[in-house]
Structure 1
């Protein structure tokens, strides 16, 4: 699918036949060239790590190979493909037009989110058991036991903070059935134990600090569903704005749809 979308992109905008340019050539496929200037235009500045650039160039090469091969056998003149291209292009233009008319017009306040939560509170329940945990992963059993000893021994906060930094530990929520089996079972059958492990998996050792278990059917608090509600409201209000734009176009245009459509 990624190849298909990239080929469509190349099919639309193409990668121009190589012309004399002062820009550095990053890759070449037959008569097509990808230059540093092209990359500046096509790749978002926030996506230019070394790996991302290499991946982009490799995708460009593979997609251009496919595009060039398709052109050589005349697929660029195929009537069905051209019609598909035109439909796709229409959708892009239409979506861009909608964006220019609606972008920045959806305003959602904290009050809106709280009101939505109160009105729909009964719909926010956990569908499966969840646990809030801190997960430590160690390459050795000895090190794992040392981690557990530090966590359970009531040592000073500085020592515990050092562990969090050393192992890049973050507090996260996990769902039953979404972990490897031995971790899943250990966490959700801990029966009041706060710190479990070492648990062996694929040659590594896990220590789990269980902060809280939330059982299926537990009502979710506003803090847990805040982002979800924001997205719901955003989609709802976006849909209203889109409908308003389309209705205004209907009002300003001459539109006819035959009442007797018959297709043989």
Structure 2
């Protein structure tokens, strides 16, 4: 499937990262103290107040510091998780990302500094904020993009629920999508963080291929918390829905058989093809009620909407899991 990193991960991660500031207040006369402990990191009162000021520099309304602090805690957790997984942002990546922001809003360097000044941000502070946000985006992409799939049937259902029934009989100049083979699959994911992850994946794959119940193995061994309790069932997909390594493996695996391990950015997948459904054959000149008449632009827009909705749900669940394993103490 086509994933839009700009449209999804920057949008979703901004909900949690936007308030995070890691540079000290410095010049302001504040009696500093610790307001939160996040594993081995501390968040100070000066950092919290600087974050609040940069978010709403001109408003006289009272800002909820607890809400901002919670966002900062989550940002710390994101950064710690990225560091744990060896995810970094190079100077070149950061320079290019900031340049994209400047170009997007057609700002000169002087104009950019003026905008930052109005937000009580120095170029150095903004650079650090943007580095943290870019780091979070990379982390989210690595963890979520292989778990989020929007199928053609979901696009069709969304269209009918929000725009009315599709006209299957009238003339239509848009995109005609012929039905594709549907494949129901399950997987067992071995996280790259697992000690000797590749060897572990090979062992689990051998267990699955030797006839052990795949669903039981998934519940016992899979690191995918979203599917493990469902016996690893990922759902039904069509060609083009999955990322390339998984798609190739699924195409080559007969119904009822197991393949893998297959490596992806999320880890090692052991895949079982549960069921294949062939599309009904129709004459090329006949319109079938299974054909979907939605323009390409409409289809892509709906795909982005559904992708974002699914990402929000999985992001919240993933972040909750990280926070439950962390030591967090609020002292505000």
Q: TM-score, normalised by structure 1?
A: 0.38
Higher RCO (Cα < 8 Å, 6 or more apart): 2
- Which has the larger share of helix? 1
TM-score for the superposition, normalised by structure 2 = 0.32
